Structures are given as C-alpha cells and as structure tokens.
A and B are shown apart, each in its own frame.
Chain A
Amino acid sequence: MSTTTLPPGQKQRPVSAPPRQVSDRSRSERRLAWMLAGPAFVVMLAVTAYPILQAVYESLFSYRLTDPTNREFIGLDNYWVVLTDPLWWQAIGVTVFITVVTVAVELVLGFALALVMAKALRGLRPILRAAILIPYAVITVVSAFAWAFAFDLTTGFVNNWFAWLPGISADTDWFGGTWSSLLVICLAEIWKTTPFISLLLLAGLAQVPEVLQEAAKVDGATWWQRMTRVTIPNMKAAIMVALLFRTLDAFRVFDSIFVMTGGANGTESVSFLAYRQTIARLEIGLGSAVSVLLFLAVVLIAFGFIKGFKVDLSQARGDK
C-alpha cells in the first residue's frame, strides 16, 4: 500500500466547519431559555442537591437531635453499623421482594390495561382511562388504610368474602405473619400504581407504527406473533422507562408498611428503617447514613437500567 504525502509547508490545515455565526436571534433565545429554566434549576438544586449533601455530611457524625452538644465526628462508623446489622439486610430483602413482585405484576396487568384502553371504542376511551386512573389519584396513605381495613379481622370483609378459598377462614389474621402481611402490602401497591405503568405503556403502544401491524397481518401473522414480533420490540423503550420509574418508586416503599404493620413481623423496608432512625429515634447521623445508602441504591438501579438495558429516556417522549 502506498501513500502520498504532501511536501512540508504544503500541508493543508484540517478542514473544519466555518465558525458558526450565532445569530442575535438564537443568542436571545438561549438567554430566554436560561431565564425560563434557571429558576427551576436553582429550585431543584435547593430542594434536591442541598438535602442530599446535607445528609451525606450529617451521616459522618454521631448526632442526636435532643443532644446537640455531644455531636461528634465519627467518619464512616455509621455506615459500618448499618452495613453490619442483619436488620439492614433483612430490610433490603423485604424491599427487593416488594419491588420485584409488585413491578412484575404491575407490568403484566398494566400492559393488559393499556391494550384494553388502546382498543376500546372511541366513545368509551375517556371514561375507561378515567376509571383506570382513579386508584393512582388516591393518596397512598388513604389507599393503605382502605386495604388495611378491608383485611382487618374485625372491620374487614375479605375473610367473609373469601372464606371458601383454602387457607382463608373467618379467623385469618392477615397482619399476624410476615408473608400474609407482605401479600396485602403488595396488593395495595399493585392496585394503586398499575394505572401509572399502564398509562406509560399506552403511550408506548401509540408509538408502534400502524403500517407494521398491517404488514404483519398481510403476511398472515397471528395475534401472538404480532404482539411478540412487532408490538413489544417496538415499544421496548417505553417498557423500560415504565419499569425504571416504577422500580425506583417501589424501592422507596414506606406508606403501606407504616399504616398496615408499623414494621411488625419483619416487614420493615429500607425507607422505614431510615424513618425510624431519623424521625423516631432522632439519631440524625445514623438515619442520614441509612438515607444515603438508600439514595445510592436508587442511583444504582437507575444507572443499571440506563446503562445495562440501554434505556433512552428521551425515546419515551417520542423524541427522535
């Protein structure tokens, strides 16, 4: 292989695009954009970055709110206490269990609901969407109380209705054991947040080009083949975004546990542990360490999804 080189001095400078002229218009647009987004950016820094940094700082101290004079720098000791405590790992286990179970069930149910909403008659669609969205509009604490009352031995109707099922009788104490408590907690979470996932999936369904579906039909593909070969691959981005949002949300589960069991029967989640150390025990240092670890877990999940599953957040909005 031969190469030709230009004599020295005749070498051309790399050709680059001429320096872009920023027009007055685009400069003023950029300025306007900053003016519009700036306050929101500052507010975001104030309400998210500042508390996170504050928590990281506090987690390095032994500090009880009622005893500020004995505040003492202890380095990473709080993290050591948390990470060597079996209670922490138990809480991680419970949190992961709730996250996996609820997100998996919600994905299947949410997809079915999204399909129903997409295929519903035009006239029915708004009513159907509103009906499906109602649970999501209910405040989590209220939904938790509703489910707690329903399964309660004295006030509930569940035992009465389902006494014909094996294992359920009039005396079944749902909140008396770990697995039965977790079941009710998961049911409440699923009921409340399936609409969210179904809405995100509905947006994904709308993005699947109709021509592909029609082409598949012409080629004689069955409903199942069209679903697995056309619909699902085309809405992968929407599915992953829905999964990511719900996983992050589910990992921070607190309200249902607080209302239904108060952490009894080994149902404490990571958020619940953070609450108990910080709010109930007033141990700001130790509680901050739990919160920082929870934050890192959430960051890890987000990072795992975005890098591992190559989730492109912009695609969920339909951006090109």
Chain B
Amino acid sequence: MPSEADGRSRATTRAGRTPARSSRRHLAGGAAALLLASGLAACGGGGSDVPVLNWYTNPDSGGQAEIAARCTDAADGQYRIATSVLPRESSAQREQLIRRLAANDSSIDIMSLDPPYIPEFAEAGFLAPVPEDVAERVTEDTVESAIEGSTWDGELVAVPFWANTQLLWYRESVVEAAGLDMSEPVTWEQLVEVSQEQDVRMGAQGIRAEALTVWLNALIESAGGSIIQENAEDPADIELGLATDAAVRAAEIMHTVAESGQVSPAFSTTGEGENAVAFESEDAGFMVNWPFVWPQALAGVEAGTLDPSVPEDYGWTIYPRVDENEPAAPPYGGINLGIGAFSEYPEFAYEAAECIVSDENQAYYFITNGNPASSTTVYDDPEVLELFPMAPAIRESLEMAAPRPQTPYYNEVSVGIQRTYHPVTSVEPGATGEVAAALINAVLRGEQLL
C-alpha cells in the first residue's frame, strides 16, 4: 500500500517540482531504505544474546549442517552453531580461510580442515590452543593417523573428526577369473600383470592435482621413505626424500602403471571422481580410491542408473604393497576441526567441537554421508557394519595409513610434486625425483617461481 508520503511526493511532482529534485529525493529515500534494510539484515539472525559460532565446512551431503543443528540443541541455549560452506577443492578452502585469518577474522570459530594444511595454520598462529583436558578426551579411542594428522610440533592443534583412507577396490569376477587370492596382500606389479592378463581397467589418480601427491606419498611411504626427511619447518633447509631409493621405487611403480596400457586414455586428467565412475563400467578391474565409491554405487542402484549386480561385484582390501614383504602405508585424509585463534568464544567452540566429534555424530556422519569415523568405537556400531561392510578394512587401513608430509609449506611441496610428476607417463625413475627436489628447494628459498 502506498504510504501517505509517497502520495504527497507524487502530488508535488505533478504540481511542478523539478523532476531532478524529485528523483534526487527518491534516490535518497531508496538509499536510506537500503541502509535500513542492510542494518536489519545484519541484526537478523541474532535477535538474542546467544553467541553464534560460525563453522566453516567443506561441501558434503548435508551431514555437517545436521550435526551443527544437533549440537546447537545439545548446547541448551548457551550457543548456536551456524554453518558456512567452503569451496569444493581443499586447496581453495585453505586459500579462503587463511586469507581471512591473516586479517584476524574473529568470525571464524570452527573450521573443517584438510589435514595436510593444519601445520601451516598452526605455525602461523591461526589455531586456538587445544585445552589439555579437551586434547585428552578427543584422542581417546581415536585412530593413530587421525591423531598424527591433527598434531604439529608435538602438540595436538586440531580435533580429529572424520578419517579417510584409500582402499584397493577390485571386481570379484576379475580376481576369480585370474585366480588371485585377495585375502593375501597384493603388490602393484601383481595388479598390473592381472589387469593386462584379463584386459581390464586399472584406476589410479594421474591428474595434476592433490590426488597425485596422495598417490606418490602413499607409494614412497609404502617403500619405507618419506617426501620430507628433515627440517620440515625450515624453508631454506628442508630436506626432501624425493631422490631416495624409496622414491625411485615409487616413481618406477607410477611409470609402470601409467604405461601398462590398462589405465584410462584420459589418465593425465583422471581424479578420484572419474575413477569411481569408470569403476562402474564393464571393463573395470582394480582401483585405488576413497570409500565414497561404495555409497556412490549404491545411490546409482537406488536411482536406477546402475545395475545392482555391479556393486555386488565390488570387492575391497588394504592398499596394494610396493614390496611384497613390506606392509603398505595407505593414504590418510579426512577432516579435522580447527578453532580460530581470533574467535570470540574459543571455550564454546571447543565445547561444540567435542559435541561434533562425539561417537554418536561420527556414526551418523559415516552412515549418512559415507565419511569414515576417526573414533575406533564407531566401527563396532552394527548399523555402520551393515551399511559399510568394508568398515573393518577401513579401520585397519587407518591404523596403517601415513599422513602426507607435515610442513607449513605443504602447498609448495605438493604443487612442486604435481608440476614435475605430471604427466605420469613422462616420469623417469631417478631423474624426476631429483628435478622435483631441486624445484621445491629453489621455490622455498625464494629463487624460483611455482
């Protein structure tokens, strides 16, 4: 309904007031309304004195938002948790958070952090210290790799939330035909051989992205080496293990897989998602990938886009070995919770974090979103075991898993690796590692671009 003032202003315009003056007044009125509206919007959502904790989450299937609602209820009016979704790529999540924290952003209370970036956040002083009693509680019955991934400089700096690991996925029909005993550990060379024999596809991540570093790290760790050997926190003296025997062995395997003739023709642009889709096709044989491939296949069956016989043919076991006699060191991933150093409510934020990572919520998250728990007790949950028959393998893999190199300069190390080891077909065992080490060292000394 037009207000009286509106009516008057129209009347005076008609009565001869200059249009310019009238439109100026309209403009001013509009601006005032806009300011008022934005002011109201800024106040909106508050309405009371209940502190709001902002939780920056990585994209998922809505699980973190639901957990936030549950923990808001559990807080009994002490605080409210609001979630904001970060970009899909973990590197982009880091970019967004770190730039805001560099400006001392106090609105960042809880962050879902990809473990390799945690040392950088901790070293820069962007994470609020974990109280001792909280540290004790959140590490109880927690898988070792998740604790390691939340630790920097000997101290727990984040709260382990969910822990991810890659399994070796295979087609039961293929291993049966090949007579391969999957109850025994298998090696990469065996897989290449069987794939060639049976003429089936083999899936690994050859894309120039974080996934490539994940693969290389798992291979080097499985061969008994490490990407970073010494001085992880000193950019000028960081000692890389990319030219060691273990790294050469890892490069050999990468090269063998890439040149096996059994990988996707788009191997140099294939990541986890593409491999998961390819594994649903008829010519699939083996693949190393995260457990999300299982719920994805089941969802496909439910949607009617995938034949139920496909996931029935899925088999899984621990990550392949590099050397027959040495246990594999599977990749470790997942999300841990960091509390912003500039948060106005760090105590509430830690209380909320403890609620978020409770066994109950981890089990809920595992079941609904397919993200494995870091708490060992969740793996005994009958519902989890029913929906995720591979849960015991995930737990075992998590205990064996090795984190990616822990350093505040992880981005440089990882991008340097991606630049030199991509495309994998051009990897030369021995030479590529040396080139990568020289590049990363020069970049960290500020002598080269990346």
A residues contacting B by CB (< 8 A) are 62, 65-68, 81-82, 85, 87-88, 152-154, 171-173, 175-176, 261-265, 273, 276-277, 279-283, 286, 290
Contacts beyond the supplied A87-B450, A154-B266, A264-B268: 4 A-B pairs with Cβ under 8 Å: A171-B266, A173-B267, A173-B268, A176-B423
Chain B residues, CB < 8 A from A172: 265
Q: How far is the CA of A87 from the CA of B267 in the complex (A)?
A: 25
- Out of B411, B446, B449, which one reaches A87, CB within 8 Å? B449
- Within the complex, which residue of A62, A88, A173, A265 is in contact with B266, where a contact is CB–CB below 8 Å? A173
B277 interfacial contact with A, CB 8 Å: yes
- Closest residue of chain B to A80 (Cβ to Cβ) is B447
CB distance from B192 to the nearest CB of A (A): 20
* Complex contacts, B209 vs chain A, CB 8 Å: 262
Distance in angstroms between the alpha carbons of A15 and B450 in the assembled complex = 66
- Report the minimal beta-carbon distance from B96 to chain A, rounded to whole angstroms: 10
Please tell me if the beta carbons of A273 and B449 are within 8 angstroms of each other in the complex. yes
Q: Which residues of A contact B277 (CB under 8 A)?
A: 154
Set of chain B residues within 8 Å of A87, measured between Cβ atoms: 448-450
Could you tell me the distance in whole angstroms from the C-beta of A83 to the nearest C-beta in chain B? 10
Chain B residues with CB under 8 Å of A280's CB are 91, 95, 411, 415
Q: Is there an interface contact between A277 and B450, defined as CB atoms closer than 8 Å?
A: yes
User: Do B449 and A85 touch across chains, with their CB atoms under 8 A apart?
Assistant: yes
Structural contact, A153 and B411, CB atoms closer than 8 A: no
Is B178 an interface position by the 8 A CB rule?
no
Closest B residue, CB atoms, query A77: B446
Residue interface mask B420-433, A partner, CB < 8 A = 1: 00110000000000
A281 to B423, Cβ gap below 8 A?
Answer: no
Contact A153 B102 (CB under 8 A): no
Query: Any chain A CB within 8 A of the CB of B198?
Result: no
Binary contact readout B38-81 vs A (1 if CB under 8 angstroms, 0 otherwise): 00000000000000000000000000000000000000000000
A175 touches B269 (CB 8 A): yes
- Distance between A70 CB and nearest chain B CB, rounded to angstroms: 10
Q: B422 touches which one: A68, A152, A264, A283 (CB < 8 A)?
A: A264
Decide if B265 touches A173 in the complex (CB within 8 Å).
Answer: yes
B107 within 8 Å of A (CB atoms): no
Cβ of B92 to closest chain A Cβ, rounded Å: 9
Tally of chain B residues near chain A (CB < 8 A): 31
Report Cα–Cα, A290/B450, bound state, in Å. Answer: 12
CB contact between A176 and one of B99, B268, B408, B449 (< 8 Å): that residue: B268
Chain B residue numbers with a CB within 8 Å of A273 are 449
CA distance A154 to B278 in the complex (A): 9
Q: Is the CB of A154 within 8 A of B274?
A: yes
Contacts of A82 in B (CB 8 A): 449
Smallest CB gap from B447: residue in A: A81
- B120: chain A residues within 8 A (beta carbon): 66
Q: Which residue of B lies closest to A88 (CB)?
A: B449
A173: which B residues are within 8 A, CB to CB? 265-269
6 A-B pairs with C-beta separation under 8 A: A66-B102, A66-B126, A171-B266, A276-B415, A283-B446, A286-B449
- B411-A66 in contact (CB<8A): no
Decide: A262 and B208 in contact? CB cutoff 8 A: yes
A65 to B125, CA, bound (A): 12
Among A68, A85, A265, A276, the residue within 8 A (CB) of B448 is A85
B420 to chain A, nearest CB (A): 12
Q: Quote the shortest CB–CB distance from A62 to chain B (angstroms).
A: 6
Complex Cα gap A154–B95 (Å)? 29
Given the complex of chains A and B, what is the CA–CA distance between A51 and B168 in angstroms? 50
Q: Which residues from A are CB-within-8-Å of B408?
A: 66
Contact with A along B191-207 (1 / 0, CB 8 A): 00000000000000000
Chain A residues lying within 8 Å of B124, measured Cβ to Cβ, are: 66-67
- How distant is the Cα of A315 from the Cα of B269 in the complex, in angstroms? 48
B175 at the binding interface (Cβ < 8 Å): no
Q: Once the chains are docked, how many angstroms separate the CA of A275 from the CA of B208?
A: 17
- Taking CB atoms, residues of chain A closer than 8 Å to B148 are none
In the assembly, what is the distance between CA of A203 and CA of B268, in Å?
45
B344 at the interface (CB under 8 A from A): no
In whole angstroms, how far apart are the Cα atoms of A155 and B268 in the complex?
16
Most chain B beta-carbon contacts within 10 A, residue among A172, A264, A265, A277: A264
Partner of B446, one of A62, A153, A279: A62
Report the separation of the CA atoms of residues A174 and B98 in the bound assembly, to the nearest whole angstrom.
34
CA distance A81 to B412 in the complex (A): 16
Expressed in whole angstroms, the Cα–Cα distance for A67 and B233 within the complex equals: 12
Residues from chain A with Cβ under 8 Å of B187 in the complex: none
Partner of B98 from the list A66, A81, A176 (CB cut-off 8 Å) is A66
Check: B283 CB closer than 8 A to any chain A CB.
Answer: no
Task: List, in ascending order, chain A residues with CB within 8 A of B448's CB.
Answer: 81, 85, 87
Q: Is B434 an interface residue, CB under 8 A from the partner?
A: no
Q: Is B264 an interface residue (CB 8 A)?
A: yes
Interface centre among A66, A277, A280, A290 (most CB of B within 10 A): A66
Query: Is B252's CB within 8 Å of the partner chain A?
Result: no
Note all chain A residues with C-beta closer than 8 A to B274. 154
How many whole Å from A39's CB to the nearest CB in chain B? 14
> In whole angstroms, how far apart are the Cα atoms of A259 and B443 in the complex?
24
Q: Is the CB of B189 closer than 8 A to any CB of chain A?
A: no
